[in-house]
Amino acid sequence: MKSHQLQCVDEAKCLGVTINNKLSWSSHIDSIVAQAHRKVEFLQRNISHCPNDIKSMAYFSLVRTKLEYAVSVWDPYTSSNIKKLDSVQRKAARFVTGDYGQMSSVTSMLDSLDWPPLQRRRSELKVVLFYKILNNEVDIALPLDKPPRDTGHKFLVPQNKVTPLFIYSINC
């Protein structure tokens, strides 16, 4: 490119998202999970004496935003990657509630904090992005398959090994 030879790499970071030559998101998820765990540990060292609402706000501001950045692109589908992401929220729930007991239920802590599961948050964020695309709020082209007499848009989700083929119909 312009008399410079491009280097072939196995993975690269683009806008904060690590992309590899196998289109696997594991290295990206490993990286953000490690960063998020370090941020939770930072919060544990520095604001452990604060009220729970302040701890919760710090988690949302500093940690969960990291776990959700560009999630519409890299949303995990393997159970191991989903568990890695969930481990951060579970650690944060223990920190916010101050309950580190082995017999304590982190699920009940998450319920008492009224924190939705990260998987649900990722799904909601994808729907929000889809809405923005559909309403031209972002500059992403959307291929539409709309028969002449049909009042709704039909969207074809490509089939892969994990997700079966679905056709979504949305009336606008």
Q: Percent of the chain beyond pLDDT 70?
A: 82
Closest by CA position to 142, among listed 123, 157, 125: 157
Q: Can you tell me the mean pLDDT for 56-66?
A: 96
Radius of gyration of the chain (CA): 20
Residues 6-26 as b or e (16 or more Cβ within 10 Å = b): eeeeeeeeeeebbbeeeeebe
* pLDDT of 146 over the 80 cut: no
Residue 39, classified by CB atoms within 10 Å of its CB into exposed (0-12), middle (13-18) or buried (19+), is buried
Confidence band, pLDDT 50/70/90 cuts, at residue 131: confident
pTM for this model (two decimals)? 0.78
Q: What is the pLDDT of residue 160?
A: 57
Higher pLDDT, 157 or 51: 51
Question: What is the bridge-based pairing of β-strands 11-14 and 152-157?
Answer: unpaired
Tokens of 57: 């706000």
Q: What is the pLDDT of residue 112?
A: 94
Q: What is the pLDDT of residue 71?
A: 93
Closest by CA position to 128, among listed 68, 88, 46: 68
